[in-house]
Amino acid sequence: MKNTHRDKIVVIGAGNVGEAIAYTLMVRKQANDIVLIDVNEDRAKGAAIDIAHGTSFHKQVWVRQGGYEECKDAQMIIITAGIARKPGQTRLELAKTNVSIVRSITENIMKYAENPLLLVVSNPADIITKAVQETSGLPGNRVIGTGTSLDTARFRYNISTKLHVNVEDIQAYVVGEHGDSQVAVWSSAMVGGFPLEDYAKQVGVTLDKKEIAEHTKNGGAEVIGLKGATFYGIAMSVSNIVEAIMKDDSAILPAACVLDESFGEWAGVAVSLPCRIGWEGIETCLRIPMNEEEQAAMNKSVAILKDFWAQVKEQ
């Protein structure tokens, strides 16, 4: 359980995503000491000062720029650093570049931190989560990837708009890869305690599942095409995971982690499933009920990630 009176969170990477995360953590009062680390120290300092200026309207929170030594006593370290995919760049090329960056970051973290709790946001999320866990040598439960947390949020939002119901009443998950092979799990989806199909039938709505799943999968690309980047959605997703940890909630949330031997052929792969999350990180990773089609899609997603990692680690 928590044994400190000062909640300190370090955010590594002060780009759009890192800055949005730091701002969200401040507004939601989830830490009283937020440190931004970036190779561009001026960018990190500017972001910290900008956010700190707003605390006079809100709540006293220390927001500042710092170095890796700040990781020593942080309750949590959030990794957002990495480059965005460039035109003509393959997904594999991006992965190799960002894995190299994040491995260096992880090594710097481990110089100062003992048994840290790491939350990985950098893309490609599943591959980076695996790289951080392997490089750090930490147990799987101490390295949490955001994985399909934002995909799940988009999925629930898209369902709620079709059914004209509060998004908080939607219980549905996207699992597998945070990418093209992700799996929208329809068979166990619920609406306010009702099976999704039963609720839709009662209110006279026919759901185009394929269209909703595609819209969910392509949600990030749509936003990037319209405004050039996504950062608010992922910031709220990260904040949701942070809250479960800082409050020791034992909340069940979709997240990525390197699966242990109990998962058989999936073992050793970083992939998203519903997880119970609390102060020590991932308390347990859960097998979500799936029909045969969804199970086959999940097996395929894991196989894709396993093959992708085999290519990346060869660099």
Residue tagged active-site, from 53, 58, 164, 178: 178
**pLDDT 10s digits, 136-167:** 999 999 999 999 999 999 999 999 999 999 99
CB neighbours of residue 217 within 10 Å:
18
Instruction: Assess whether pLDDT exceeds 50 at residue 294.
Output: yes
pLDDT at 89 over 70: no
Give the separation between CA 276 and CA 283, rounded to whole angstroms.
5
Catalytic status, residue 58: no
Mean pLDDT, residues 200-221: 94
Annotated binding site: 13-18, 38, 43, 68, 85, 91, 98, 104, 121-126, 146, 151-154, 230
Asked if the peptide bond before residue 124 counts as cis, ω within 30 degrees of 0, the response is yes
Query: Per-residue confidence at 90, pLDDT binned at 50, 70, 90?
Result: low
Q: What CATH code would you report for 8-145?
A: 3.40.50.720
DSSP letters spanning 150-169: HHHHHHHHHHHHHHTS-GGG
Binding residue positions for substrate: 85, 91, 123-126, 151-154, 230
Q: Output the pLDDT for position 301.
A: 96
Name the pTM for this structure: 0.94
Q: What is the pLDDT of residue 263?
A: 94
Shortest CA distance to 209 belongs to which of 189, 237, 231?
189
- Domain extents for the chain? 8-145, 149-312
Position 303: which residue type? A
Cβ-contact 63, 34 below 8 angstroms: yes
Cβ distance 252 to 285 under 8 Å? no
Binding residues for NAD(+): 13-18, 38, 43, 68, 98, 104, 121-123, 146
Give residue 228's pLDDT. 86
- Average per-residue pLDDT for the chain: 93
User: Does 314 have pLDDT greater than 60?
Assistant: yes
Instruction: Check whether 1 has a pLDDT greater than 70.
Output: no
- pLDDT confidence band for 84 (50 / 70 / 90): confident
Q: Which pLDDT does position 3 carry in this prediction?
A: 45
Query: For residues 146 and 260, what is the distance between their CA atoms, to the nearest angstrom?
Result: 18
Closest CA to 178 of 141, 151, 218: 151
Taking the C-alpha atoms of residue 248 and residue 214, their distance in angstroms, rounded to an integer, is 34
| Cβ contact 105:12 at 8 Å | yes
Token reading at 173: 């998950």
CATH pick for 149-312 out of 3.30.930.10, 3.40.50.2300, 2.60.40.2230, 3.90.110.10: 3.90.110.10
Q: CA geometry: angle at 42 spanning 38 and 46, to 5°?
A: 100
For the stretch 58-76, pLDDT in tens is 778 899 999 999 999 999 9
Cβ(277)–Cβ(245) below 8 Å: yes
Cβ contacts of residue 292 below 8 Å, gap of 6+?
Answer: none
> What mean pLDDT comes out for the span 263-274?
95
**Amino acid, single-letter form, for residue 109:** I
Number of H helices, E strands in the chain: 10, 12
Distance (Å) of CA 135 to CA 72, 230, 309, 310: 17, 28, 14, 15
What gap in Å lies between CA 278 and CA 78, rounded to an integer?
Answer: 16
Residue 191, helix vs strand vs coil: strand
